[in-house]
Structure 1
Amino acid sequence: MSAPVADGRLEGAPANLSAAGQDGPTTQNGKPRKRRKRRRGRKVYARDGQGAPQGQPTEKAGSGQAAKTASTSSGRSSAGVKERRSEATNGQAFTGAPARKPFEDLPVFAALDLGTNNCRLLVAIPTRYGQFRVIDAFSRIVRLGEGLSASGRLSDAAMDRAVEALKICGDKLRSRNVRRARLIATEACRSAENGSEFIDRVEKEAGLKLEIIDRQTEARLAVSGCGSLVERDTQGVVLFDIGGGSSEIALIDLSKGRRSQHLANHIVSWTSLPVGVVSLAERFGGRTVTRDSFAAMVDDVATRLSAFEGRNRLNHVLQSPRFHLLGTSGTVTTLAGVHLDLPRYDRRRVDGLWMDRTNVDRMVEKLLGWDFQSRVANPCIGPDRADLVLAGCAILEAIRAVWPSQRLRVADRGLREGILSELMADEGVWRDARRGGARR
């Protein structure tokens, strides 16, 4: 249910400069009237008929370059000031700030995530520090891992669906001047006997070379993609990504020392459970879910979590109001959409939403009370997720039992955003953007 993330936009920031002539408006006692003008975001007052103090610039230097502006002297006309501004900028409109590069001049980055259930692509350009703007995206449910838990192999039909989606992604990538891209495959390709054969087929037919990443890398990328949703006063977070074939969980301790710009640096423990919504639904049934079968799914996941040796590393902050859960998956975004009673899924309403414990309980109970057709009819679930959403809820309930929290934050972002963030940081484009433009 994820949708593309648009994390920022380029903005010009023209400065509105005005110059006073010799004869300005006066007050009743004959004194020059104060005129207010804006300068680089500050309010400043000057008497009409007075220029800037000698030796003081009228405009602050812009980021990364010296901004030269002429001071206004008595007896000079406003037209003359405008003329000098035009000359100082080589005939271009004076903005008082360094020019931002147009979108077409910025480097392009891409991230592709082929999971057990979905194939997703993001293409983006860097904007303000730590942010980017999505310029192209693609998402399709391909169910690559369908039947994998029973056979141990990727089926021909599932591979066909995935290859067709990847061909579209390949066309999109080739139509862009992409500087760097990372194309990853996760649990389905990791665990399938014929995973490497499928990777070779993708390279031959779609022209894309996929990288099968390990579980630790997957957990780190999920954390990197959600950094902006963890607020500055947070002491601890359990971030989880409920996938189709695996579920990654990272414990993040922010209670000690100075906070790093990279949230992944604060991971104190992590695990990857070899169970996801597709594999769990295939084992216990996804279309018809009784309360007994739901409880059995929760118990299955809880047993796996009990073997996680690092699960207690955040015990010292569990009771703090500044501890919370952070979920990045179709399960939590679906719950959020149902909770908001959206007529159609809207990422802008869902991404970053806070849900308290009572609301999560109520939504899980609501979905348990719906039959399969009722789930299909809901616009935030639909036929593609109707047989998977309760399996996801079972994984969520097992996680909440181990790390009880009054708050859950919903993230409609994840691996692709983490990849883009790491690629852009590695290339230094945000560092260069601080100097007035991304490095070419």
Structure 2
Amino acid sequence: MEPQPLPQGITAPPNGDPAGHFAALDLGSNSFHLILARRLGQHIQVIDRLREMVRLGTGLRADGTITPEAQQRALETLRRFGDRLRDIPPQHIRAVGTYTLRRGFRAVDFLEQAGQVLGHPIEVISGQEEARLIYRGVSFTLGPPANRRLVFDIGGGSSEIVLGDGIHPICMESLHMGCITYSQRFFRDGRITAKRWQAAETAARLEFQPVAANFRAAGWHEAIGTSGSIRAVAAMVQTLRNTPDIDAAGLADLRDRLIRAGRVDRLNLPDLAAERQQVFAGGAVILSAAFAALGIERMLPCDGALREGLLDELAAGRRGRQDVCNHTAEALSQLYHADRGQASRVCTTALGFLDQLREQWALGQTPDIDALRWAAMLHEIGLAISHSGYHKHGHYLLANGDLAGFSRNTQTLVSLLVRFHRRKIIRREFNVLPPEQRLTALRLTIVLRLAVLLHRARGSEPAPPIQLTATTDGLHMDFPKKGLTLRPLMHADLLEEQALLERAGFALSFGETD
């Protein structure tokens, strides 16, 4: 991607100044990418790119583990990448894992080790979040479209389709097929036959079937293809037919040549790297199915994808990503008809409590605090299903939904806060979080529980002014004089809460000031 031009009168900061530098890492199923950039006035200039073919997806087992060999390849790459990140501010770095790390649900230890080797935590993002960031990366690279744009990306384990209007995606899907998985499933030994190609394309068409009609009905003015697989196909079509983009005729010609050759390496295409040959057929057949299923006539390849989307969002600052998460939380609140007044009261009280405890608990400016706000906004969405056990219903909706802007870790944390904002706390359930986050998660849960308890009457009256003090094993609440005496139901609720927290190993005490 060419550097963005400097505005009049803007000069570049020194190359050695790390404060204006950013790094985005895309840990895909096929390859790992690192993109480094610096801020130039209001613009972002890419200064370096690194890519290593790790093939993490080839090591994914059916039981959700990743083979030691694949883990070792990944760790060696991350160690090299980590060396390039040493001087960049942590808040200017974002590393995300996609399909293989989503499916590797028993690879928690590997993720922790990978973050230590890299020197930065790794987020695992959902397919929908991956699609959103891919669309943003295309807009960053090509500029926002004047009309509707379709973006298609083929990864190692999944493929993303996004339809957007301007800078905003309006329809996003992530499908369970990628160049590694299809190459292993249909072309494992490297042989390409008409029968194998037909079986692979039929399987891909079946993946598209549930979503294709919606995309075709909406329509678009241009189709953009991202990822190494699509760029490799575009390069082959250009070599074979001397055309700058991909069309259906070019794909058909490429398919016929592959079948006649019987193997990719017999095509004698010097532009196709040996490392790409192993997964080329899987990517090409998925792209062929996409053209047929979606009715694509012509597709332009684009270098920008997930990592450029990460970079653009990083450069926008923490507020840019927060805005996406806030929009998602607002949309969920409306979808499930949450009582916005009650949510606002609980949120205000919870954040007020947290302000009192921030120094005592040494929380600093941890982004986990945002999770408390989103959980307070959404703690009652389970009521849309049933009042009985509504905290469990809310947890299920949040844990299993596609939440734009949320990493898997943040999504898990918010869902746990909602799950345990009432009734008993099961501490082992917090073990799905990284070890260093579990104590903070428990503390945020208790703050939310207390805020919900104080507003149980659902009235507009504000909560009484309460002073919170952290103790060695819990919290003490100081109410104003007669603050509890005049609220016997609140007092009874607090006694019940005290017993529930004691079972979870957390001490709660309370009283009135003189």
- TM-score class, shorter: 0.5 to 0.7
Displacement after TM superposition at 1:203 (Å): 2.6
Specify whether residues 389 and 151 from structure 1 end up closer, same or farther in structure 2 by C-alpha distance, changes over 3 A only.
Answer: farther
Specify whether residues 325 and 361 from structure 1 end up closer, same or farther in structure 2 by C-alpha distance, changes over 3 A only.
Answer: farther
Tell me the residue number matched to 1:227.
Answer: 139
Out of 166, 170, 181, the position equivalent to 1:268 is: 170
Specify whether residues 336 and 201 from structure 1 end up closer, same or farther in structure 2 by C-alpha distance, changes over 3 A only.
Answer: same
* More divergent stretch after superposition (182-191 vs 169-178): 169-178
Tell me the residue number matched to 2:4.
Answer: 8
Tell me the residue number matched to 1:116.
Answer: 29
Tell me the residue number matched to 2:20.
Answer: 107
Alignment of 1:317 with 2:230, yes or no, is no
CA RMSD of aligned residues (A): 2.9
Displacement after TM superposition at 1:427 (Å): 5.9
Displacement after TM superposition at 1:193 (Å): 3.7
Displacement after TM superposition at 1:363 (Å): 3.0
If each structure's helix is expressed as a fraction of its own residues, which one has the higher value?
Answer: 2
* More divergent stretch after superposition (113-122 vs 396-405): 396-405
Tell me the residue number matched to 1:215.
Answer: 127
Out of 283, 286, 289, the position equivalent to 1:395 is: 286
* More divergent stretch after superposition (328-337 vs 415-424): 328-337
Tell me the residue number matched to 1:294.
Answer: 197
Alignment of 1:380 with 2:376, yes or no, is no
Tell me the residue number matched to 1:331.
Answer: 229
Q: 1:177-222: CA deviations, max 9, x gaps?
A: 5651100111111102432121012133343321111111100010
Q: Is the 8 A contact 1:6 1:132 kept in 2?
A: no
* More divergent stretch after superposition (172-181 vs 157-166): 172-181
- After the TM superposition, which residues 349-388 of structure 1 pair with which residues of structure 2 at under 5 Å, given as runs? 353-372=244-263, 374=265, 377-388=268-279
Alignment of 1:303 with 2:206, yes or no, is yes
Q: Is the 8 A contact 2:56 2:100 kept in 1?
A: yes
Displacement after TM superposition at 1:394 (Å): 1.3
Alignment of 1:412 with 2:320, yes or no, is no
The AA in structure 2 aligned to 1:372 is R
Alignment of 1:284 with 2:186, yes or no, is yes
Displacement after TM superposition at 1:229 (Å): 5.9
Out of 227, 236, 240, the position equivalent to 2:152 is: 240
How far apart, CA to CA, are the structure 2 residues paired with 1:120 and 1:369?
34
Q: 1:19-53: CA deviations, max 9, x gaps?
A: xxxxxxxxxxxxxxxxxxxxxxxxxxxxxxxxxxx
Q: Is the 8 A contact 1:109 1:123 kept in 2?
A: yes
Quote the sequence identity (%).
29
- After the TM superposition, which residues 69-80 of structure 1 pair with which residues of structure 2 at under 5 Å, given as runs? none
Tell me the residue number matched to 2:238.
Answer: 340
Displacement after TM superposition at 1:281 (Å): 1.6
Displacement after TM superposition at 1:331 (Å): 1.6
Out of 183, 186, 203, the position equivalent to 2:95 is: 183
The AA in structure 2 aligned to 1:268 is I
User: Which secondary structure state, in structure 1, belongs to the residue aligned with residue 301 of structure 2?
Assistant: strand
User: Which secondary structure state, in structure 1, belongs to the residue aligned with residue 214 of structure 2?
Assistant: coil
The AA in structure 2 aligned to 1:166 is L
How far apart, CA to CA, are the structure 2 residues paired with 1:371 and 1:199?
39
Displacement after TM superposition at 1:421 (Å): 0.6
The AA in structure 2 aligned to 1:355 is I
How far apart, CA to CA, are the structure 2 residues paired with 1:369 and 1:415?
35
How far apart, CA to CA, are the structure 2 residues paired with 1:418 and 1:307?
27
Out of 80, 88, 91, the position equivalent to 1:168 is: 80
User: Which secondary structure state, in structure 2, belongs to the residue aligned with residue 374 of structure 1?
Assistant: helix
Tell me the residue number matched to 2:314.
Answer: 423
Specify whether residues 149 and 277 from structure 1 end up closer, same or farther in structure 2 by C-alpha distance, changes over 3 A only.
Answer: farther
Specify whether residues 212 and 427 from structure 1 end up closer, same or farther in structure 2 by C-alpha distance, changes over 3 A only.
Answer: closer
User: Which secondary structure state, in structure 2, belongs to the residue aligned with residue 341 of structure 1?
Assistant: helix
Higher CA-based Rg: 1
The AA in structure 2 aligned to 1:315 is A
Displacement after TM superposition at 1:380 (Å): 2.8
Specify whether residues 413 and 367 from structure 1 end up closer, same or farther in structure 2 by C-alpha distance, changes over 3 A only.
Answer: farther
The AA in structure 2 aligned to 1:326 is I
User: Which secondary structure state, in structure 2, belongs to the residue aligned with residue 190 of structure 1?
Assistant: helix
How far apart, CA to CA, are the structure 1 residues paired with 2:253 and 2:41?
39
Total equivalences in the alignment: 317
User: Which secondary structure state, in structure 2, belongs to the residue aligned with residue 369 of structure 1?
Assistant: helix
- After the TM superposition, which residues 11-50 of structure 1 pair with which residues of structure 2 at under 5 Å, given as runs? none
**Which stretches in structure 2 are left out of the alignment for 5+ residues?**
321-514
Tell me the residue number matched to 1:82.
Answer: none
The AA in structure 1 aligned to 2:206 is T
Specify whether residues 368 and 414 from structure 1 end up closer, same or farther in structure 2 by C-alpha distance, changes over 3 A only.
Answer: farther
TM-score normalized by structure 2? 0.56
Q: Is the 8 A contact 1:108 1:178 kept in 2?
A: no
User: Which secondary structure state, in structure 1, belongs to the residue aligned with residue 300 of structure 2?
Assistant: strand
